[in-house]
Structure formats: structure tokens, C-alpha cells
Structure 1
Amino acid sequence: MSQYYQRRIASMETPGLIIKSWFFCIVYGAIAFPIFYVFAFKPPTVLVGTLVSGFFAVWGVVYVWVTFQKTLEYWKFGELQLKLMEPPVLGGELAGELHAPGLGLRPVMIDLMALEEVLGTDSKGRTTRSEKAVYRRMHRLRSRGGRIEFRVPVPDEPEIVRGEPYLWRLRIRADLPGMDLDRTFPLDMAQGTRRSEPPVHERVGTQALPDAAREALMTAAPVDVSGIAAPAIGHATQEEVRDLPAPVSAPVLIAANLLLLVGVLYWGWRIGDVVILYWVENLVIGAMHVLRILFADPDAMRSAAAPVQSTGGERMAAKTALAAFFLVHYGGFCAVHGMFLASLFPVRGPMGVPLEIWQILADRLREPGALAVIAALALSHGYSFARNYIGREEYRRVDIARMMFRPYGRIVVVHLFIIAGGLLLQGTRAPVAALLLFILLKTGIDYTMHRRERALLSPEGA
């Protein structure tokens, strides 16, 4: 009787992951659905706003449906554990079983993958991870009364490279009425014994080398690397962020934000005027982000790397396409966001009629005070771009494939703060002092996010 290798592996799908998915759905829905409701059901109906906000609302429904399906799947099958019969080894076989009550006699797909980990940085300077498949094989079999038994081959050279720290995954899927079984299990793959093959010096063609070079390659002594420390990669802690010297660009950012205090104190601005100027700042951030994408180091396109080396022109074309896509997507997002803010915090014209967001923007560009604030915000972000992104060579450390998604996190945080704080100020008819406090708190949010972004990309400050 064969002895089982007593190793049980829990799936990567956990209750915590489902809770995070529902949290994302709630936050996304709290933003997308009210905006769609305002444009679709509150007079006057704006066709463009209804269509664009409806697009984001549909995606919200999709997110909810997918999360609901994953919740039902976990509710039915619970925590599943993969049982391995022997240690998985390169060049050998992966044998194991999985018990999934209620599966019955159904087709099952076994998907064995080797993933390469790609490191990058996000907009806050933190290390990010992405995965690229370097090997993938799918096998079809049938379960037996809720018991899945499998034995699949594990690759070896030349399909994969020995010694590389691949992330091995085993994905098990089965189609069921109403929901699908879909679980992924991490594997610890041992190197094992290399398959029978020619020595390395023969496979690389050293016979064509001079005798001295070939002998040196075949008899080379191992190199002692025990005294060489590996570079540390990780997140900056809150204490490390606080201990960083105050960057020069941070006071510039604060000064630009505090110009709004002048508008409140001397030009009589109210919450609607301030909120619209914060929306204009989002447009400035989007414009600067287009420059970030275009100026990013082509070699930083690590998560989008292809097996075939692309030329400089092809990489520039890819960056231009990413920038164009970001411009359209982000522009549409800001347009809907602006129309929503204009309806929530109306600014009335000479006849007392609420103005459209584009009319408000044109009016602000003709007002010297508002134009000065917009110019100051643009100069602040432009200075940070020149000082940090170009001067500190942050463009060499970015992951351009993720670049287009970075401004949305800031918009969500600022949007929630503006909506909550703005409605509170508007509903309580707060005095000027409360509006000044609102501006100071928003400036504090900007300062904190700016410091976190500099934490790893520019650890010396800027």
C-alpha cells in the first residue's frame, strides 16, 4: 500500500478575500450608482452624463455579480484542501486529490502554471507585484463522486529554467449549474534530479571556444557569495515616512492649496466654488499623468514584456497608445464626476439658473482669483513632475503597464471627503471658519499622499 505524502495545502480563496471583494463593491457602488441616479432620474436629464455614468454603473453590477458568485461557491464548498501524494519535483509528476462534496461525476480542468514574479512601484512608492505565466498546461479529467484524483507531468528544462524562483500554482475548475468550482493552490516545487541531458558546457557550444577558455569554463571554481547582502525590497513603514526630510515640493503643494483660503476670505467663495476648483485639479493631475506615461523609461514596461524584443519606435507607440487610452477613460471619468459635482453643489448664473460644469469652468478661467489658484495648482504638480519624476529619475522605477490606473485612487479618496464634508457644510450652513477647516483638512490629505508617494521613489525627499 502506497504511503501518502502528508501535505495538505489550503486554497488561495479565503473568507478575507471575499470580504475585500465586497468592500470594493460597496465603495465602487457608493460612487457609481448615485452618480447614475442623478443623471438618469433627476431633472434635467443629461444624455451624455447618463450614458457615461451608466457605463460605470454597469461595471458595478458586474463586480457585484462576480463577487456574489464567488460567495455562493465558497458557501457551498467551504475551505478546500489539496492533498498531495508525493512532493512535487521538476521533471517528475504532480499527484494528489481533492474532495469537493456535491461535485458528482463532472468534467474537471487541472491547470498547472509556473509564474514569474515582476516587481514594480505604485503611485505611493510602495513595491507592487505582478505575475507573468512562463509555463501553463491544462489537463481534462472527470471527478468521481466529489473526489478528484489527478496525476500530471511537471516540466523541466528546456520548458522552464532551473533555479528560477517561479511561483507554481495549481488551478482546479469544474462547471456546475448556477456556480462554478474554481480554486487555486500554491505549490512548493522541489528542484529534484535533472533529467538526462548534455552538460552545460556542451549545450552552450563551448567546443567552438579556444582550448584555454573551454578548460577554464569546465574547471571554474565556485564563487563565494555568502558575504554579499541582497538588496532589501519592501514597503516604507509609517515611521520611515514620517522621518523623511520634508521635500521641497511639499511646501509648494501646500502653498498652492492654501491659496483657496484667500478666495474664501477675500473673494467670498463658498463650498460650490471650492469643490469645482478641486475638480479642476483632477484635470491637472490627469494632464501630468499623460506626461508621466510618455516619459516613462521603456525598459520599465516589465509587466508588459513580450518574448520578442521590441524596438524603440514600437515601445514609444505602445506608450502613446496607453496615454491615449488613459486620456479618453480618465477624461470621461472626470467629465461625469464634474457633472455630478455641479448638480450636487450648484453654481448659479446671473439669472439664478444652475450652470453646467463646462460653463462653470469657462467662468472660472475668466476670474483672476480662480485662474491664479488653478495656475498655482498646475505649477505645483508641474514642479513635482520636474523635480521628482524627472530630476530624481522616478521614471526609471515605474511600472508603465499600471501607470494609467494610479490617479483613480486619489480621486476616490478626495471624492469621498469632498462629498461628505461638502454636504455637511452645505446642510448646516456652516460659517466661513468651517469652510477654512475643510480646506485645511483636504490640504492635509494631499500632503500625506504626496509624502507617501515620495517614500520609496524618492527616499531623500524632493
Structure 2
Amino acid sequence: MPATVSLIKKQLTRSDYFIIAANLIPVYGVLFERWSAKEVFLVYCLETIIIGIFNIIKMGIVTSVRKTDTWYNGPSRTQQHGLFFIFFFLIHYGLFVAIQMGIFFGVSGLMPDGGINVFSFFYKWPQLLSKDAYYMLAGFIISYGFSMIYNFILSGQYRTVSLMHLMFQPYIRIFIQQFAVIVGSMFLSFGAGTVFIILFACIKIFFEVFVDYDGILNKQMSVLKNEEKEEA
């Protein structure tokens, strides 16, 4: 009988607590420091980019250790250079980011005069953030940076994790985050951003901290490797 995979983590790590703290910063800011709900949602959009950047760094570290890895494409398996994985992720993930940004700006009313779009956003975003928003952005960067150092480098995971695993690692979180950001953008247009940020932060903490994405991915990768052994 195949082993079942628990969707819920049984034990939290140090990096999980950093992620919880980082997600509570905007809740505190909106409730007690009068932070702009629109700026908070903009930072959540930027978080998508931060996750992608850290993932590219991790893929680069793995590539420096072993140059090639197994690429699974349906029934076929080929050995590809790590740069191929990185390039594929950059293009594919970039499309997700562009879609999220396009919908966000379309319904949030952040720039109603049309002064910014998906492409100009990447060099104009510093103009849209206040000092408070930078605190929130720094919190996410620190939490993801700590997670990479503690869970990926110091643990030695970079020596064993597959590039295919890393390439798909952010997507489950991003699907949830994109849905929440898109719905939240609509709340912003009706002036209910504060309420939704509180709900969004709670939902985000649950899915990012308590759901065992790595366990789900590891199970799927094991299935692919077993199929590869059976075909050999």
C-alpha cells in the first residue's frame, strides 16, 4: 500500500516563525500605524518576485555543485544543464508575475491615471512605496533569506535536492497568493482593504507555514524516480 503524505506539518522550524512574524508586520502596520492598504498589497505583489529571486539563487547554488540534473518531460527523461532549469523557471515564473501585476493594477486603482503598467512597474515601483512599506518588504527579504541559509545551505539540502523540485517549489504558494492578491485588489477598490489584509495574512500564514509543500513535492518526485527505475 503506498504511503500517504500528510498535508499538515507536524513541527514548525525556526524559519517558519520568521515567516509568521513577517506576515504579521503588515497586520500591525495597517491596524495601529495607519499604513496604506494599497501599499501593503503592492508589497505582497513584490513578495512574489522576492520568492522567485531566492529560488533562482538556490538553483544557482545547486548548479555550482552539480552541473546537470534530470529533466522530466512526460515519459521522457533527459540530463540538462542547471542553466536550462534556471532559464525555463525565469520565463515561466515571469509570466505568472506579469499576470498577477496586470490584474492587480487593473482592479486596484493604484495608478488610475495610467502612469504605470506591468513593464514600467519594474523600475517605477520604488516611487510607489513609503518608508513603512519598505519595513514590510525588508521583513519578507529577511525571512526568506534566513530560510534559505538555515533550511537550504546549513542543512546541506543543496547537495541532494533536485533542480526539478526547486523549479516547482514556489508554485503552490504562488497559486494561493495570486488568488488572494487578485481578490484583495477588488476589496481595495471597494475601500475594504484593511479587513481583507487581516484575513489574507491569516490565510497566508496557514498555507505558507502549516502546509507541508516539500512533503507533497518529495512524494511526487519519488514517484517519478520510481517510474524511471522501472523503465531502466
Unaligned runs of 5+ in 1: 1-232, 308-314, 458-462
Larger Rg: 1
Confirm or deny that 1:404 pairs with 2:167. Answer: yes
Q: Tell me the residue number matched to 1:269.
A: 36
User: Higher relative contact order by CA 8 Å / sep ≥ 6: 1 or 2?
Assistant: 2
Structure 2 partner of 1:249: 15
Using the alignment, how far apart are the partners of 1:456 and 1:337 within structure 2? 24
Bigger mean CA deviation after superposition, 380-389 or 326-335 = 326-335
Match of 1:443 in 2: 205
Displacement after TM superposition at 1:376 (Å):
1.3
Give the match for residue 288 of structure 1: 54
Deviation, 1:337, is 2.3
> Who is 1:362 aligned against?
126
Q: Structure 1 residues 408 and 455 mapped into 2: Cα distance closer, same or farther (>3 Å)?
A: closer
Q: Please give the TM-score of this superposition, normalised by the length of structure 2.
A: 0.73
Check conservation: 2:16, 2:209, Cα contact below 8 A. Answer: yes
Aligned 1:380-419 pairs, distance under 5 A? 380-419=143-182
Cα shift at 1:340: 2.2
Cα RMSD after superposing both structures: 3.1
1:306 to partner: Cα distance: 5.8
Distance in 2 (CA, whole Å) between partners of 1:322 and 1:452 is 20
**What TM-score do you get using the length of structure 1 for normalisation?**
0.39
1:341-391 deviations in Å (ceiling 9; x for gaps): 11111214xxx62542517612245x2111111111011111111111112
Task: Give the aligned partner of residue 94 of structure 1.
Answer: none
The one-letter code sitting in structure 1 at the alignment partner of 2:203 is L
Kindly state the Cα deviation for residue 412 of structure 1 after the two structures are TM-superposed.
1.6
Paired with 2:173 and 2:10, the residues of 1 have a C-alpha distance of 23
**Residue number among 321, 327, 334 corresponding to 2:90 in the alignment:** 327
Contact 2:69 2:82 in 1 (8 A): no
Letter in 2 for 1:279: C
Q: Which runs of 5+ in 2 are unaligned?
A: 219-232
Equivalent position amino acid for 1:285 in 2 = I
Pairing 1:298–2:66 present:
yes
Q: 1:355 to 1:259 in 2, by over 3 A?
A: farther
- The aligned counterpart of 1:123 is none
Contact 2:107 2:185 in 1 (8 A): no
Matches within 5 A, 1:331-350: 331-348=94-111
Q: Do the aligned partners of 1:285 and 1:407 also contact (CA within 8 Å) in 2?
A: yes
Matched, 1:353 2:116: no
Contact 1:276–1:342 (8 Å) recurs in 2:
no
Q: Does the 8 A contact of 1:261 with 1:439 survive in 2? A: yes
SS at match of 1:392: coil
1:346–1:378 CA distance, 2 compared to 1 (3 A): same
Which structure carries more helix by proportion? 2
Deviation at 1:454, TM superposition (A): 6.7
CA drift of 1:284 comes to 0.5
1:416 is displaced (CA, Å) by 1.5
More strand by share: 1
CA distance in 2: counterparts of 1:282 and 1:338, whole angstroms: 10
Work out whether 1:237 is the aligned partner of 2:3: no
